[in-house]
Amino acid sequence: MEFKIAVLPGDGIGPEISEQGVAVMTAVCEKFGHKVTYDYAICGADAIDKVGDPFPEETFHTCLHADAVLFSAVGDPKYDNDPTAKVRPEQGLLAMRKKLGLYANIRPVETFDCLIHKSPLKDELVRGADFICIRELTGGMYFGEKYQDNDKAYDTNFYSRPEIERILRIGYEYARRRHKHLTVIDKANILASSRLWRQIAKEMAPQYPDVLTDFMYVDNASMRMLQEPRFFDVMVTENTFGDILTDEGSCITGSMGLLPSASTGDHTPVFEPIHGSWPQAKGQDIANPLAQILSVAMLFEYFGLEAEGRLIRKAVSASLDANVRTPEIQVEGGAKYGTKEVGAWIVRFIESSNDISN
């Protein structure tokens, strides 16, 4: 297979982890006989500094004409700490989602046995937790009509039937491939938009008789994720709720540096770690590259290349078991490994592996 990958390193630690993601993808392609080319493009604060736009038109076209986008992170304190800034790095991320029609964000939450001790939850609660949160990505308050003056402000939480149906359909498809349990998360006791979500989900449920469909208010879901994370298989929800719940879910594993994500929709899919740009660590070679590397695994799996994704996951697990880890997840007294060393170890594991079976 031939891949044309748009690479958007972005800001902060983005370029450092991006380098490791590209190295792993290259190693896997060589191992399995795929061809890959990379087109690099700017975004975020880096793009604002260079051209005044966090998602320039040239970057958009690079993404549009690629098979997939390997994205890293955006964000910079000089914009975070300036409430008057009219252009912000995060606007580039929203623009990318909107222009590429990326309406579905898929975030797996999976624990690693060797890192259970890093989780803030008790072992008996978190061990074995394995679920996916599917977040609607281009509707709701983030994209609805807005207004602000000195005395009042509002954000419009708008959703249409087609937007809700298409994201629910993806939720059901994932549930069918997993443990056949879909939880629709809303606030239907208060919000009209949530009542429409629940109405449509109830209409669609009979089309998937093999899937157990249940409903949960978002406040209850946020508690249930901490009290009983193993309850969930696939959850689906609207944009704002999903943004909050997925960050909460990331804490279950003990490190945000372990979780990848995919954003899919009308055009080129985007694969990215869920963590931010961590500008304080920029250039220090301490950033955990595993979420970026696992995003590459999701990329291969998106194209039906399960063996390639499985080999990456095997390599990541092996690195953790061998205590080849960046500082924030290293065991007490363990050797110090930097971003580049962890990436290089995983590449060597892939290169030396004989496991290329489908």
Catalytically annotated residue among 219, 266, 321, 355 = 219
80 a catalytic residue = no
Catalytically annotated residue among 99, 186, 187, 233 = 187
Catalytically annotated residue among 247, 282, 285, 314 = 247
Catalytically annotated residue among 67, 155, 243, 285 = 243
- What residue type is assigned to position 58 of the chain? E
247 a catalytic residue = yes
Catalytically annotated residue among 79, 103, 142, 172 = 142
187 a catalytic residue = yes
Neighbouring-strand partners of residue 213: 182
50 a catalytic residue = no
Q: Would you please indicate which residues are annotated as catalytic (active-site) residues?
A: 142, 187, 219, 243, 247
